Structure 1
Amino acid sequence: MERLCAGLMALRFLLRMSDVVDSIFVTAPPGMGNLLMQELEGLSVPVQREMKGGVYVEKSIEVGYRVCLWSRIANRALWPLGTFEAKDEDALYAGVKAIEWESHLDPDVTLAVDANCVQSAITHSHFMSLKTKDAIVDRVRDIAGDRPSVDLKQPDLQINTYLFRDQATISLDLAGQSLYRRGYRTVGLEAPLKEHLAAGLLFRAGWPGISAEGGALVDPMCGTGTFLIEAAMMACKAAPGLLREGSGVSRWKHHDAAAWDRQVAEAREQRVRGARELVFGSDWDRRSVETARQHAKQAGVDGLIQVEERDVRDVTPPSGVDPGLMIMNPPYGERMGDARTLAGLYRTIGDRLRGYWTGWTAAVFTGNPPLCRELRLRPRRTYDYRNGAIPCRFALYKLATADRLQAQAAEEPGVEMLENRLRRNLRHIGKWARRSRVTSYRLYDGDLPEYGLAIDLYQDTDGDVSAHVTANESRGENLLSEARQRAGVQALKRVLDLPDERVILKSRSRQTRNTQYDRLENRDSYKTVAEGDARYLVNLTDFHDTGLFLDNRMVRAYLGEHAEDARLLNLFGYTGSVTVAAALAGARSSVTIDLSNTYTDWARENFTRNELGDAHEVLRADCLAWLREAEKGLHGSERYDLVYFDPPTFSNSKGMDESFDVQRDHAEWIRRALGVMADQGRMIFRCNRKGFRMQFEDEAYTVKNLSGRMLPMDFERRRSMLHCFEIRKRISRES
Structure 2
Amino acid sequence: MSKYVFFVTCPKGVEYLLGDELETFGLSLVRNAPAGVWVEGEMEAGYRACMWSRLANRVILHIDEVDARSAEELYDGIVKLDWQAHIRAGGSFRVNFLGQNEALRNTQFGAQKVKDGIVDSIRGAGAPRPAVAQKDPDVTISARLNRGRLAVGLDLSGHSLHMRGYRTEQGLAPLKENLAAAVLLRAGWPGIAAAGGDFVDPMCGSGTLLIEAALMALDIAPGRRQERFGFEKWPGHQPELWMSIRQEAERRAHEGKQGRVPVFAGFDQDRRVLDTAQRNIQRAGLEGIVTVEERALAEFARQDSWADQGLVLTNPPYGERLSERNVLASLYQSIGEVSLRELAGWRLGVFTGAPEFGKSVGLRSFKQYNLFNGKLPAQLLLFEVRPENAMTPRDPAAAGQVVPRIVNAERAEMLRNRLKKNVKSIGQWARKQNIGCYRLYDADMPEYALAIDIYEGRVHVQEYLAPKSIDERAARERLAEALAIIPDVLDIDPKDMVCKQRQRQSGTKQYEKQAATGEYLKVQEHGCTLKVNLKDYLDTGLFLDHRPVRHWIQQNAQGKRFLNLFCYTGAATVHAAVGGASRSLSLDMSKTYVNWAMDNLSLNGADPRKHLVEQADCLAWLADKRTANQTFDLIFMDPPTFSNSARMAGVLDVQRDHGVMVRQCMERLSTDGLLIFSNNFRKFKLDEDLAAEFDVKEVTASTLDKDFQRNQKIHQCWHIQHKV
* Contact 1:247/1:260, CA 8 A, preserved across alignment: no
The aligned residue for residue 183 of structure 2 is 201
SS of corresponding position for 1:80 = strand
> Amino acid of the residue matched to residue 118 of structure 2?
I
1:29 aligns with 2:11: yes
Moved more, 276-285 or 136-145: 136-145
> Amino acid of the residue matched to residue 271 of structure 2?
R
Which of 134, 138, 161 matches 1:179?
Answer: 161
Which of 312, 315, 335 matches 1:329?
Answer: 315
Q: How far apart are residue 49 of structure 1 and its match?
A: 4.0
The aligned residue for residue 278 of structure 1 is 263
> Amino acid of the residue matched to residue 259 of structure 1?
L
SS of corresponding position for 1:108 = coil
Counterpart mapping for 1:637-648 below 5 A: none
Distance 1:109 1:217, change over 3 A: same
Whole-Å separation in 2 of the counterparts to 1:400 and 1:238: 32
Deviation string, structure 1 residues 413-439 (Cα, Å, up to 9, x no partner): xxxxxxxxxxxxxxxxxxxxxxxxxxx
TM-score (norm 1): 0.50
Q: How far apart are residue 45 of structure 1 and its match?
A: 3.6
SS of corresponding position for 1:230 = helix
Whole-Å separation in 2 of the counterparts to 1:339 and 1:90: 56
Whole-Å separation in 2 of the counterparts to 1:319 and 1:151: 56
1:114 aligns with 2:96: yes
1:74 aligns with 2:25: no
> Amino acid of the residue matched to residue 358 of structure 2?
C
> Amino acid of the residue matched to residue 48 of structure 2?
R
The aligned residue for residue 291 of structure 2 is 306
The aligned residue for residue 381 of structure 1 is 367
Q: How far apart are residue 120 of structure 1 and its match?
A: 6.4
Which of 235, 248, 251 matches 1:266?
Answer: 248
Deviation string, structure 1 residues 667-702 (Cα, Å, up to 9, x no partner): xxxxxxxxxxxxxxxxxxxxxxxxxxxxxxxxxxxx
Q: How far apart are residue 250 of structure 1 and its match?
A: 1.1
Whole-Å separation in 1 of the counterparts to 2:355 and 2:126: 57
> Amino acid of the residue matched to residue 187 of structure 1?
E
Which of 383, 386, 395 matches 2:381?
Answer: 395
Which of 326, 346, 354 matches 2:340?
Answer: 354
SS of corresponding position for 1:302 = coil
Whole-Å separation in 2 of the counterparts to 1:342 and 1:164: 43
The aligned residue for residue 297 of structure 1 is 282
* Contact 1:59/1:79, CA 8 A, preserved across alignment: no
Whole-Å separation in 2 of the counterparts to 1:178 and 1:129: 19
SS of corresponding position for 2:228 = coil
SS of corresponding position for 1:303 = coil
Distance 1:115 1:332, change over 3 A: same
Whole-Å separation in 1 of the counterparts to 2:87 and 2:127: 14
* Contact 1:362/1:399, CA 8 A, preserved across alignment: yes
* Contact 2:83/2:122, CA 8 A, preserved across alignment: yes
* Contact 1:120/1:163, CA 8 A, preserved across alignment: no
* Contact 2:61/2:154, CA 8 A, preserved across alignment: yes
The aligned residue for residue 345 of structure 1 is 331
Q: How far apart are residue 263 of structure 1 and its match?
A: 0.9
* Contact 1:191/1:335, CA 8 A, preserved across alignment: no
Distance 1:119 1:379, change over 3 A: farther
The aligned residue for residue 315 of structure 1 is 300
CA RMSD of aligned residues (A): 2.5
Distance 1:161 1:213, change over 3 A: same
Whole-Å separation in 1 of the counterparts to 2:114 and 2:4: 21
Which of 91, 99, 112 matches 2:73?
Answer: 91
> Amino acid of the residue matched to residue 383 of structure 2?
Y
Deviation string, structure 1 residues 26-49 (Cα, Å, up to 9, x no partner): 222111111112222334444444
Counterpart mapping for 1:144-223 below 5 A: 144=126, 146-223=128-205
Counterpart mapping for 1:359-508 below 5 A: 359-400=345-386
Whole-Å separation in 1 of the counterparts to 2:214 and 2:27: 23
Q: How far apart are residue 127 of structure 1 and its match?
A: 2.6
* Contact 2:71/2:103, CA 8 A, preserved across alignment: no
Q: How far apart are residue 334 of structure 1 and its match?
A: 4.5
1:229 aligns with 2:214: no
Which of 104, 108, 132 matches 2:86?
Answer: 104
The aligned residue for residue 119 of structure 2 is 137
Whole-Å separation in 1 of the counterparts to 2:54 and 2:95: 24
Q: How far apart are residue 277 of structure 1 and its match?
A: 4.9
Whole-Å separation in 2 of the counterparts to 1:97 and 1:355: 67
Whole-Å separation in 1 of the counterparts to 2:296 and 2:98: 43
Distance 1:233 1:294, change over 3 A: same
> Amino acid of the residue matched to residue 316 of structure 1?
A
Distance 1:346 1:268, change over 3 A: same
* Contact 1:115/1:162, CA 8 A, preserved across alignment: yes
Distance 1:273 1:334, change over 3 A: same
Whole-Å separation in 1 of the counterparts to 2:135 and 2:351: 32
> Amino acid of the residue matched to residue 351 of structure 2?
F
Q: How far apart are residue 138 of structure 1 and its match?
A: 2.9
* Contact 2:197/2:262, CA 8 A, preserved across alignment: no
Distance 1:129 1:405, change over 3 A: closer
* Contact 2:27/2:41, CA 8 A, preserved across alignment: no
Distance 1:339 1:81, change over 3 A: farther
* Contact 2:22/2:49, CA 8 A, preserved across alignment: yes
Whole-Å separation in 1 of the counterparts to 2:310 and 2:319: 28
> Amino acid of the residue matched to residue 291 of structure 2?
Q
Counterpart mapping for 1:537-548 below 5 A: none
Higher relative contact order (CA 8 A, sep 6+): 2
1:126 aligns with 2:108: yes
SS of corresponding position for 1:181 = coil
* Contact 2:202/2:300, CA 8 A, preserved across alignment: yes
Deviation string, structure 1 residues 167-189 (Cα, Å, up to 9, x no partner): 11011111111111111111123
Q: How far apart are residue 387 of structure 1 and its match?
A: 1.0
Whole-Å separation in 1 of the counterparts to 2:142 and 2:373: 23
TM-score (norm 2): 0.51
Q: How far apart are residue 110 of structure 1 and its match?
A: 2.4
Count of equivalent residues: 386
Whole-Å separation in 2 of the counterparts to 1:338 and 1:114: 42
Whole-Å separation in 1 of the counterparts to 2:124 and 2:251: 46
Q: How far apart are residue 332 of structure 1 and its match?
A: 0.8
Whole-Å separation in 2 of the counterparts to 1:198 and 1:140: 42
Moved more, 227-236 or 184-193: 184-193
Q: For structure 2, which runs of at least 5 residues remain unmatched after alignment?
A: 393-724
Whole-Å separation in 2 of the counterparts to 1:290 and 1:335: 26
Identity of aligned residues (%): 39
* Contact 1:84/1:169, CA 8 A, preserved across alignment: yes
Q: How far apart are residue 125 of structure 1 and its match?
A: 2.5
Q: How far apart are residue 337 of structure 1 and its match?
A: 8.9
SS of corresponding position for 1:65 = helix
The aligned residue for residue 224 of structure 2 is 242
Distance 1:337 1:104, change over 3 A: farther
Deviation string, structure 1 residues 221-259 (Cα, Å, up to 9, x no partner): 111111111110111100111111133211111000010
> Amino acid of the residue matched to residue 113 of structure 1?
V
Counterpart mapping for 1:509-520 below 5 A: none
Which of 273, 281, 291 matches 1:288?
Answer: 273
Distance 1:172 1:337, change over 3 A: farther
SS of corresponding position for 1:254 = coil
Whole-Å separation in 1 of the counterparts to 2:103 and 2:370: 31
Distance 1:334 1:164, change over 3 A: farther
Whole-Å separation in 2 of the counterparts to 1:82 and 1:186: 35
* Contact 1:277/1:305, CA 8 A, preserved across alignment: no
Whole-Å separation in 1 of the counterparts to 2:326 and 2:84: 59
SS of corresponding position for 1:333 = coil
The aligned residue for residue 575 of structure 1 is none
Distance 1:120 1:355, change over 3 A: farther
* Contact 1:27/1:54, CA 8 A, preserved across alignment: yes
